[in-house]
Chain A
Amino acid sequence: MGDPVFNGGLDLGVLGIVAVKALIGFTFVMVGVIFMIWFERKIIADMQSRVGPDRAGKWGLLQTLADGIKLIFKEDLSPDRSDRLVYRLAPYLSVAPAFLTFTIVPIGGVFRGDDDGTLRVLGNDTFLQVADPPVGVLFLLAMSAVAVYGIMLAGWSSGSKYPLLGSVRASASMVSYEAALGLSVVAVVLLSGSLSTHEIVSSQAGSVLDWNIVRTGFVPFVVFLIAATAELNRPPFDLVEAEQEIVGGFHTEYSSIRFGMFFLAEFMNTITMSAIMVTLFLGGPDGPAPIGPPLLWSFFWFTIKLLAFLFLFVWLRAALPRFRYDQLMDLGWKQLIPLSLGWLLLLGAIQIGRDEGWNVVVVVLVGFGIAVVAAGGLLGAIRVADRRRDAFAEPLPNESAELTDAGVR
């Protein structure tokens, strides 16, 4: 368990490797963000028959950098009803988790055959990921929980109404989707038998059929993808920002580079979540290596898979309108959470059944029966709730004649 670089204790060489790896990770994310923003703007422009940024640098590649520099030169304002300390702290709370989450992603390494993804550098074995804490995916959940604080506190401390609405939306919706996110990851942990991201990638080595997306039966992947989109505040779940409704939400009052930090964190999170999905479900850097050193191919496959997710996020943004708040919460609580919980228990039962020699068909049938009962209970509950709400509901325009006459409607 853990990164083998620490097996021989700490010395200067090990510290050097750690520092270099952290720097590489840092640079990867930063360059990734610069590229991602450009990529998103270009792709969306293309989908909308526009040109997109094309002034700064070749094909507008330096546009993000130019925007960042511009933001540094902007005046930094803080509204006079804001809570100064928290207001200033919030960008840090947003950016730090974004960087930290990326550390647990293996960005390369050969996992086929006898290789277990280690690389020998300066006499030390090491993984191609910044850190491999034994609690891996729990760390991911912890960091995404901290990121909620950044957004929530930013909105709350602004002392202004629209950001407040945004922060309330954030605290409720991001928290809801975190439950769905956590539940769908358990399925991965179940099959990989470990919380460490490196182990999870190792357990998926082989062909596409060994990837968790197939082994967990697609449902956890889909749930994770939806929950991750919501967790990232990407369209169609970007209610926390929703410039058409709450004018940017939590970052309405932020200006200058503090505002830039939120955007940086958002795009960084997009990259990180895509990388996490690659790690958890698509076998990380796993892929065939026809010619040349397999190590280079592992970087290639990782990047390709990452880009596929980034493209998907951009595509969603171009194609879909935004959910409404109640629809978002209904989707999260009443569909994703029960679904992922049920699927997880079914997966567990099948696995245990295989160990104990139970008949798989029987297990699935029993599981299906339980699922039907549970779904019935859930639907019944939803109906009961609807009926209760109707009792309090206001009458319809054409519903109540005497009220119409009286003029309430």
Chain B
Amino acid sequence: MTTTPHTHAPDAGDVEPDRAGEPDGQRTVDETDVTVMDPYATYEGAQEMRSRSEISATELLRESGAVLRLSEAAAAELSEATAGSEDETMIINMGPQHPSTHGVLRLMLELKGEEVLRTKPIIGYLHTGMEKTAEELTYLQGTTNTTRMDYLSPMFNELVFALATEELLGVADEMPARATWIRMFMCELNRIASHLLFFATNGMDMASTTSMIFGIRERDALLRFFEQVSGLRMNHNYIRVGGVAADLPDGWQEGVSAILDTLERKLVEHDELFSGQPIWHGRSQGVGIIGPEAAVALGATGPTLRATGVPWDLRRDDPYLAYDEVDFDVIVGTHGDTFDRYAVRMSEIRESIRIARQCIEGMPAGDWRIQDKKVTPPPRARIDESMEALIHHFKIFTEGFRVPEGEVYVAVESPRGELGCYLVSDGSAKPYRMHIRGPSFVNIQTLPHLMKGGLMADAVAVISSIDPVMGEVDR
């Protein structure tokens, strides 16, 4: 097989390639061209990184970690400083089939030896069309769909969709307190589970295999609890429009308390064994630094943003559910490096434990979903007695319920940052349009900035430190 260099890659002047991820008009033409040449071509068109001579100055700057958009002239002036000889550099693909790219993230790196000069994330390898699928599913089925986006924090995806739908329905005020607290409680547990998996993968990417096993082991206790509650370990479809799918099982307080107590003890151990050792420090401190202005300008969110020192947490700054009724600290870092992102997440686990404990104590009694026959199915017992209840039940699960016309944007603080759901209804039982603002997607934008000047090994640590979930990026 011959793999000729793509000399006829689209000219930089022809089209101004937009942010990674957005398809380009130029692409189709190019793709067919290559396919003829090489049946195994994996060319991705304008998303790919090209050699310095082929690209515009703005693109060069962006790939080298520039934060702001500039005019081509201003960029050309600046990029002269960064333009260098390409003699000793190579462009290497990291991902999609790479052990440390968290699924199918693909990065093209320009390396000089081991030093990363330019980075370009290429996405789309896990595209599932979930946003489009949502238009074909009723609002009741919607959470089944969204829960699969960020598969590490499914509760949040369900929550944000449910909140958005309830906002459109205008039933948000009717929500029983218990439902709200159960949602908050489950989300915090889910945040712990997600951060534990971050701990696992972050350790793994620095080749600390034991931390991976330990992180997953600790997380598994929580997944077992989720299974008790919702019947599933992942993709629960537990938080639904109008409340939650079921009440918490008997004896849940003791079960969760035991898990949280163990976890708290283990966290101290992990801090000593993994993050307390010099090699870990050397690998993560001072690696992948981003300042607060750059983080804000790039739209970074969640722990990635908070690690730079910006105290932006929707739970505090735009309280939803009952977060204004519980005490917790927003954790912010100092230097904005990989170590800070790690530390912020680890401390957030402790804060989530705090919130979960307050939920155990303060869980109000009452109903766990709205008793509105238009939105939620009637209780099981009533179906046997009432013909009407049966009809309602049947209609809700076949046709769904109609949602008044309108549009709404609701955001929650997922483990990765601001997870937003923009929902447009045309009055039918299915959304006219759903758009998800995935925190992983915006955080990936910071990668060129974080990786610039680091080594190949830093690149791996940096990817795991922003903890992207590709299911959410590609949707």
Are A407 and B1 closer than 8 Å at their CB atoms? no
**For the complex, what is the distance from the CA of A129 to the CA of B114, rounded to whole Å?**
43
CB B109 to nearest CB in A, in angstroms, measures: 10
Q: Does A356 contact B (CB under 8 A)?
A: no
Identity of the chain A residue whose Cβ is nearest the Cβ of B459 in the assembled complex: A245
Q: A48-B213, A321-B211, A324-B458 are in contact. List 16 more A-B contacts (CB 8 A).
A: A168-B113, A244-B205, A244-B460, A245-B457, A317-B209, A318-B210, A320-B208, A321-B203, A321-B274, A323-B282, A324-B455, A407-B66, A407-B78, A408-B81, A408-B82, A409-B291
Partner of A321, one of B65, B81, B111, B206: B206
Neighbouring B residues of A75 by C-beta, 8 Å: none
Query: Footprint of A on B, CB under 8 Å?
Result: 1, 61, 65-70, 74-75, 78, 81-82, 90, 92, 98-100, 111, 113-114, 203-211, 213-214, 217, 273-274, 277, 279-280, 282-283, 289-291, 293-294, 336, 449, 452-453, 455-460
Q: Does A296 contact B (CB under 8 A)?
A: no
Neighbouring A residues of B90 by C-beta, 8 Å: 161
Partner of A324, one of B205, B211, B217, B457: B457
**For the complex, what is the distance from the CA of A42 to the CA of B209, rounded to whole Å?**
14
Are B74 and A244 closer than 8 Å at their CB atoms? no
**For the complex, what is the distance from the CA of A244 to the CA of B95, rounded to whole Å?**
11
CB A382 to nearest CB in B, in angstroms, measures: 16
CB A228 to nearest CB in B, in angstroms, measures: 18
**For the complex, what is the distance from the CA of A162 to the CA of B68, rounded to whole Å?**
32
Are A165 and B74 closer than 8 Å at their CB atoms? no
Q: In this complex, which of A325, A394, A409 has the most chain B Cβ atoms within 10 angstroms of its Cβ?
A: A409
CB A249 to nearest CB in B, in angstroms, measures: 11
Identity of the chain A residue whose Cβ is nearest the Cβ of B100 in the assembled complex: A244
What are 20 residue pairs bridging A and B, where the CB atoms are less than 8 Å apart in the complex?
Answer: A49-B217, A80-B1, A165-B111, A165-B456, A236-B207, A239-B457, A244-B204, A245-B456, A318-B209, A320-B277, A321-B203, A322-B207, A323-B282, A324-B455, A396-B289, A397-B289, A397-B291, A397-B293, A404-B293, A407-B74
CB A373 to nearest CB in B, in angstroms, measures: 27
Are B214 and A48 closer than 8 Å at their CB atoms? yes
Which residues 305-360 of A sit at the B interface, judged by CB distance below 8 A? Answer: 317-327
Partner of B455, one of A48, A325, A404: A325
Q: Does A243 contact B (CB under 8 A)?
A: yes
The size of the chain A interface, using a CB distance under 8 A, is 41
**For the complex, what is the distance from the CA of A396 to the CA of B449, rounded to whole Å?**
11
**For the complex, what is the distance from the CA of A239 to the CA of B114, rounded to whole Å?**
12
Q: In this complex, which of A49, A325, A396 has the most chain B Cβ atoms within 10 angstroms of its Cβ?
A: A325
Partner of B207, one of A169, A244, A326, A398: A244
Identity of the chain B residue whose Cβ is nearest the Cβ of A168 in the assembled complex: B113
Are B207 and A242 closer than 8 Å at their CB atoms? yes
Neighbouring B residues of A239 by C-beta, 8 Å: 457
Are B210 and A409 closer than 8 Å at their CB atoms? no
CB B155 to nearest CB in A, in angstroms, measures: 27
**For the complex, what is the distance from the CA of A235 to the CA of B206, rounded to whole Å?**
11
Neighbouring B residues of A242 by C-beta, 8 Å: 207, 457
Q: Does A246 contact B (CB under 8 A)?
A: yes
CB B35 to nearest CB in A, in angstroms, measures: 20
Given contacts A324-B455, A397-B289, contact A47 B210 (CB under 8 A): yes
Q: Does A406 contact B (CB under 8 A)?
A: yes
Neighbouring B residues of A243 by C-beta, 8 Å: 99
Q: Does A175 contact B (CB under 8 A)?
A: no
Identity of the chain B residue whose Cβ is nearest the Cβ of A327 in the assembled complex: B282
**For the complex, what is the distance from the CA of A239 to the CA of B458, rounded to whole Å?**
13
Neighbouring A residues of B455 by C-beta, 8 Å: 324-326
Neighbouring A residues of B78 by C-beta, 8 Å: 406-408
Partner of B70, one of A396, A407, A409: A407
Neighbouring A residues of B100 by C-beta, 8 Å: 244-245
Given contacts A49-B213, A245-B456, contact A321 B207 (CB under 8 A): yes
Are B210 and A325 closer than 8 Å at their CB atoms? no
CB A333 to nearest CB in B, in angstroms, measures: 16
**For the complex, what is the distance from the CA of A165 to the CA of B460, rounded to whole Å?**
15
Neighbouring B residues of A238 by C-beta, 8 Å: 207
**For the complex, what is the distance from the CA of A324 to the CA of B287, rounded to whole Å?**
11
Identity of the chain A residue whose Cβ is nearest the Cβ of B456 in the assembled complex: A245
Neighbouring B residues of A169 by C-beta, 8 Å: 114
CB A73 to nearest CB in B, in angstroms, measures: 24
Given contacts A320-B277, A407-B74, contact A398 B291 (CB under 8 A): yes
Neighbouring A residues of B1 by C-beta, 8 Å: 80
Identity of the chain A residue whose Cβ is nearest the Cβ of B92 in the assembled complex: A161
Q: Does A383 contact B (CB under 8 A)?
A: no
Neighbouring B residues of A325 by C-beta, 8 Å: 114, 455-457
Q: Does A50 contact B (CB under 8 A)?
A: yes
Are B279 and A322 closer than 8 Å at their CB atoms? yes
CB A153 to nearest CB in B, in angstroms, measures: 19
Which residues 240-258 of A sit at the B interface, judged by CB distance below 8 A? Answer: 242-247
CB B99 to nearest CB in A, in angstroms, measures: 6
Partner of B283, one of A165, A324, A394, A398: A324
CB B244 to nearest CB in A, in angstroms, measures: 33
Partner of B208, one of A44, A321, A409: A321
What mask results when residues 381 to 407 of chain A are scored 1 for a CB within 8 Å of chain B, else 0? 000000000000010111000001011
**For the complex, what is the distance from the CA of A327 to the CA of B454, rounded to whole Å?**
13
Which residues 164-197 of A sit at the B interface, judged by CB distance below 8 A? Answer: 165, 168-169
Identity of the chain B residue whose Cβ is nearest the Cβ of A50 in the assembled complex: B213
Given contacts A49-B217, A321-B280, contact A407 B68 (CB under 8 A): yes
**For the complex, what is the distance from the CA of A247 to the CA of B457, rounded to whole Å?**
11
Neighbouring B residues of A48 by C-beta, 8 Å: 209-210, 213-214
CB B385 to nearest CB in A, in angstroms, measures: 51
**For the complex, what is the distance from the CA of A339 to the CA of B399, rounded to whole Å?**
78
CB A166 to nearest CB in B, in angstroms, measures: 11
Q: In this complex, which of A238, A327, A397 has the most chain B Cβ atoms within 10 angstroms of its Cβ?
A: A397
**For the complex, what is the distance from the CA of A327 to the CA of B291, rounded to whole Å?**
25
Are A407 and B61 closer than 8 Å at their CB atoms? yes
Identity of the chain B residue whose Cβ is nearest the Cβ of A324 in the assembled complex: B457
Q: In this complex, which of A320, A326, A398 has the most chain B Cβ atoms within 10 angstroms of its Cβ?
A: A320
- The 3 residue pairs across chains A and B that have the minimum distance between CB atoms: A397-B291, A322-B207, A321-B206
Given contacts A49-B217, A161-B90, contact A244 B114 (CB under 8 A): no
Are A397 and B294 closer than 8 Å at their CB atoms? yes
Are B283 and A321 closer than 8 Å at their CB atoms? yes
Neighbouring B residues of A165 by C-beta, 8 Å: 92, 111, 114, 456
